[in-house]
Structure 1
Amino acid sequence: MAHTIRDKAKLLARVRRIQGQAAALEKQLCDETDCGAVLQQIAAIRGAVNGLMVAVIEGHLTDHVVKEADPAQRQQDLDVALGVIKSYLK
């Protein structure tokens, strides 16, 4: 079973928290909230997205690289992960 299926409930909970944080940010902007609070909310959203990314990458590396028996498939899965990490860190 793929890690995103196995961890579906946890991942969806994270996504829903991010949605809630984004909605709160939108409300702050509409309400013309102090910029300090807006910045803090943006930082919280970034942290939540980073946490989601770490959870999915960790599952991918564990399930598709470490536990993969076929060396060719392992390399392909590693290349996918590395490409995403490089893109994410730009």
Structure 2
Amino acid sequence: MAKTLKDLSREELMNTIRELKFAALDLNLYLDTHPECKPALNDYNNITSDLKAVISVYESKYAPLTNFGGAESKYPWAWTNEPWPWESGE
């Protein structure tokens, strides 16, 4: 049975976020030079939507990935809780 986003571990969610951010950045750069490539734009929009969903699950399970209004926090304030997203031990 395939895992849903909510079933993924913290590390799996962070890896998925990294992969989707890389793909979005790569497509963004491509679209800068090929702005009328509709398939690439569709891919970019789909990846962006997927990225938002994964970030939402991560933040609801663990802690915000950004501060200054980018995400809400559970009580108590969770921004300073360890480990930080980049401290995955890899």
TM-score, normalised to structure 2, is 0.45
Based on CA coordinates, which of the two structures has the bigger radius of gyration? 1
Greater share of helix:
1
TM-score by length of 1: 0.45
